[in-house]
Amino acid sequence: MVISDAAVKQILLTMDEQQHFILEDLDDNHLVIKADEEFRVRRQLETELEKNTYSQD
C-alpha cells in the first residue's frame, strides 16, 4: 500500500497508465500497488517529484 497526498497520487495514476502497477485505488490518499514494483515505482516517483520541484538557481 502506498500512502500519499493528492498531488503524488495523481502522478502515480499517470505513471500507471503506461506501466500498470496499481492493483486498487482505495481512497484519496491510498493505493495498493504490486509488491514487486514498489522499489521501481518509488525511484520513478522521486525522479518525477524532482522535476516538479521549484529551485531558484
- In this prediction, residue 55 has a pLDDT band, given cuts at 50, 70 and 90, of low
Residue 29's SS3 state is coil
What pLDDT was estimated at residue 6?
A: 83
- Structural domain spans, the chain: 2-51
Distances in Å between the Cα of 17 and the Cα atoms of 14, 22, 53, 55 are 5, 9, 23, 28
The CATH superfamily of 2-51 is TFB5-like (3.30.70.1220)
Average pLDDT over residues 28-40: 93
pLDDT at 28 over 90: no
The pLDDT of residue 3 is 66
What mean pLDDT is predicted for residues 1-19?
A: 85
Evaluate if residue 52 carries a pLDDT over 80.
no
